[in-house]
Amino acid sequence: LAFTQHEAIDFVQCINNCALSEVVVIGSKYTWWNNRIEEDYTLKRLDRVLVNNVFQEAFPSTIVHHLIRQG
């Protein structure tokens, strides 16, 4: 299922309208790779943790830990 540019813009507007912000990440910048090497190698970040101001005020030291891949 393709994700269109229009849908991406709608999603960003929704995040902005809800005043959400991303939680700080510790660890790898990427959470997925395609198990290939050299020119076919692809890294992506598939997850985000978004919170509102109420959450940030209640839990100001919240961070996300990306764990090292095993196996």
Number of domains in the chain: 1
pLDDT of 69 over the 90 cut: no
11 in any annotated domain: no
Give residue 30's pLDDT.
Answer: 86
4 in any annotated domain: no
26 in any annotated domain: yes
Residue ranges making up the domain that contains 62: 22-71
12 in any annotated domain: no
69 in any annotated domain: yes
9 in any annotated domain: no
Write down the pTM of the prediction: 0.75
pLDDT per residue over 4-53, tens digit each?
999 999 999 999 999 999 999 999 888 888 888 888 889 888 889 999 99
Q: Residue 26 burial by CB count (10 A; 0-12/13-18/19+): exposed, middle or buried?
A: exposed
pLDDT greater at residue 19 or residue 1: 19
The CA distance from 4 to 65, in Å, is 30
